[in-house]
Amino acid sequence: MKLCERCSRPLKSQKSMENGMGPVCKKKHEKELADAEFERNQMNLDEVIEEATA
């Protein structure tokens, strides 16, 4: 049986097994990815501002 990559609980559905994590963990995972992407964009923006004002 396949286990969730995040919480190590057994995955029940075929879709969860394809994702490697359960639906709740997948939502969290996607939010983390979105947050990381946002952080990266923020950092890039700060760099641009710094270069513009330097």
What residue ranges bind Zn ion (CB under 5 A)?
Answer: 4, 6-7, 22, 25
Nearer to Zn ion, 6 or 17 (CB): 6
Asked if residue 4 lies in contact with residue 21, where contact means CB atoms within 8 angstroms, the answer is yes
- The position carrying tokens 């190590």 is 8
Cβ-based nearer residue to Zn ion, 9 or 40: 9
Closer residue to Zn ion (CB): 33 or 49: 33
In angstroms, give the least distance from the CB of 36 to Zn ion.
Answer: 19
Tell me, what amino acid is at 30? Answer: E
